[in-house]
Structure 1
């Protein structure tokens, strides 16, 4: 059996669980009678909790030199938090429940990807060759959940979620920890990351693009329903997009070395812009399906290259802290802003208008990344960022 089998299975089932939350939680909130603005607030509370909790859990991982034990703690907390969230219908209690739930669930993804990067480095494997199993889990379950929820109703999304999270917990007990550095880590060491200009500027600039990605995560289901699509249609849209993402991860060995990682990130930002603007203009939901192929070339390329770039510019003994700080900006703060602002825009205008605005933001982000590359590196586009 492959030495990475348990890690791949862990990623598969964790992202299967995330399929339910990312793809259908906004639709679930809509189903229980919440308004667009209320949904926007709830979808912003989750990323806020993620933003606050992820650096903490990353620091604890580096301090105690264990990803596995921290992941176990977070999964248990997420399981208990989900029981509270899915049994609560009061808007104000939901705010509390969503905060607790995401405070434990979100760090699992960042810690899993961090452990994947460490494992890939130790075994001299491609990060994408392992991480693609998470994308496959998301893709397969996006499709199956669409059919399942079309039959049983979106109000029962807690059943598949709890099943997938339980399997993830069992697999976590079997994954292998990887210690990359024996250098002791104190809180003052972790704060050095905040003084790393190259790292912090990159996190801030990339948010012009990541906010648009996270807004789409929150409102794609509502967008499709608004255009006349069904729950199963939402599943197909996610399936096509994440399969394209998995293909990008699987083939990273062949294309990743050709240009600097920041060059790929700039290109991905442009593709994000094209994708959002077209979505803002189309009327027929069927056209969303072929357009979802761009998810792989936009998010897949962006995330893979950004994660690798961050790994290269942070100290080895602070990798988990740096990865989770990156994660908190990418999925936490960006998600909070994208969800809250997006909800207001939808209430005041329309979901199509929201996507046109996202396109403009992505263009600005691509320009800023290109300027950042010139200012910090002054390299030619074909210079390679060496892969360890």
Structure 2
């Protein structure tokens, strides 16, 4: 793979996941700074996440018909930037919810097409994909740390300024990419998308992934507020989250080899079991800095390893003319439905911090159920 293309794809991942490095730790801080209750924060995050149910599928249908993933990425990043700009002026509950939902609707256009475009460009090499994708993790770390310091120095409203700048960088980076050539040859092995979706292995894979995302609800929604309530300094949020992402990066270096050795099923089951342990010790022992660091280290399995195995599973499961829709359905269902349920339930259980332990126990139970389902997945190495 030529160096300029590698650099451009890597920066696009850096910017895309840099936005996540801002949103995951600090969106709840931003909303808390505007004096919303934990229940209201849970509702806003649920609506924000629920747009992933519809958005990716609609964009993917357009991408599959046009064969132009890059155009969708550019349109999505541009409209996401414009939508995010509304947060500078909107302050009410419904207006902020609308702005975030609109932003998410356009933002969800980007990742499925970027994943497909990258896999086509690198000829589905798991090794090269891992090296490109790790720059997304670097972007997450950099933004999580920088945003934490900036918000601490100024106030929670700095969230909007940081987000706007990174979205602008993402849009500019999308203009530097080129659409790869991909020739689809129709063959006698072609099958309908629905026939691939209803196969037992995919259903088990889908449900287990959905439950994993439900389990992330307390972490994505309230981790920053959780640490604040435990008297950690404000900059600790970015540091703890970054520690987990560093572990995730290490996994990306070896993920391709692990997939070849063990296949999807074993990696998925292992990741889910480890994540169950992670949520339990987070809920019960987060006041101990060393145990919390250990819990964050387990992010290597709960996201890095699971994500790599999932992407490879989807690539193996769907045919070339189904890749955009396959990725979109996976993201829409798992991240959209699962994330929305997780955010809403955690908002209900959290009770302004008094239900923190119960929220993480619920998360651990979801992962245990998911690991049991994943045991029955049949997948190619």
TM-score by length of 1: 0.90
1:251 matched to 2:243: no
- The correspondence for 1:237, drawn from 235, 240, 265, is 240
Q: Aligned runs of 1:259-278 on 2, under 5 Å?
A: 259-278=262-281
State the match for 2:294 in structure 1.
Answer: 290
Contact 2:218 2:359 in 1 (8 A): no
Conserved? CA contact 1:59–1:190, under 8 Å? no
Contact 2:38 2:347 in 1 (8 A): yes
- Against the structure 1 CA distance between its residues 299 and 92, is the aligned structure 2 distance closer, same or farther, given a 3 Å change threshold? same
Q: Is the 8 A contact 1:181 1:317 kept in 2?
A: no
Cα distance in 2 for residues equivalent to 1:131 and 1:296: 14
Instruction: Quote the Cα distance in structure 1 between the aligned partners of 2:81 and 2:210.
Output: 30
Deviation at 1:227, TM superposition (A): 1.5
1:315 offset after TM fit, Å?
1.4
Alpha-carbon separation, structure 2, partners of 1:210 and 1:179: 34
1:356-383 Cα offsets, whole Å, 9 max, x none, are 111111111101111x22xx46xxxxxx
Q: CA 1:301 to 1:283, structure 2 compared with 1: closer, same or farther past 3 Å?
A: closer
Offset at residue 3 of structure 1 (A): 2.9
Aligned equivalent of 1:11, options 10, 13, 23 = 13
1:352 counterpart = 2:353:
no
Give the structure 2 partner of residue 380 of structure 1: none
CA pair 285-30 structure 1, distance change in 2 beyond 3 A:
farther
Shift of 1:2: 3.9
Candidates 329, 342, 364, aligned match of 2:346 = 342
Residue 126 of structure 1 deviates from its aligned partner by: 3.0
How many equivalent residue pairs? 373
Q: Measure how far apart 1:55 and its partner are.
A: 0.8
C-alpha contact (below 8 Å) 2:272/2:368 kept by paired residues: yes
Work out which of the residue numbers 344, 356, 371 in structure 2 matches 1:366.
371
Q: Greater shift after overlay, 104-113 or 17-26?
A: 104-113
Structure 1 residue 13: Cα displacement: 1.6
CA contact (8 A) 2:210 2:335 kept: no
- Decide which moves more: 154-163 or 282-291: 282-291
Mapped contact 1:180–1:316 kept (Cα < 8 A): no
Alpha-carbon distance in structure 2 between the residues aligned to 1:113 and 1:221? 29
CA RMSD of aligned residues (A): 2.1
- 1:100 is the counterpart of 2:105: no
Specify every segment of 5 or more residues in structure 1 that has no aligned partner in the other structure, as ranges: 378-384
Q: Which runs of 4 or more aligned residues in structure 1 lie more than 4 Å from their structure 2 counterparts after TM superposition?
A: 122-125, 188-197
**Counterparts of 2:71 and 2:151 in 1: how far apart (Å)?**
33
C-alpha distance in structure 1 between counterparts of 2:310 and 2:245, whole Å: 18
Whether 1:301 and 2:314 are equivalent positions in the alignment is no
1:76-155 alignment runs, 5 A limit: 76-121=78-123, 125-155=127-157
What's the CA shift for 1:196?
Answer: 4.4
TM-score for the superposition, normalised by structure 2: 0.92
Residue 189 of structure 1 and its aligned partner are, at CA, apart by 5.6
CA distance in 1, matches of 2:263, 2:217: 25
Please list, as runs of the form range in 1=range in 2, the aligned pairs for 1:134-213 lying within 5 A after superposition: 134-182=136-184, 193-213=196-216
Verify the 8 A CA contact 1:276 1:359 in the aligned structure 2: yes
Change (3 A) 1:87 1:229: farther
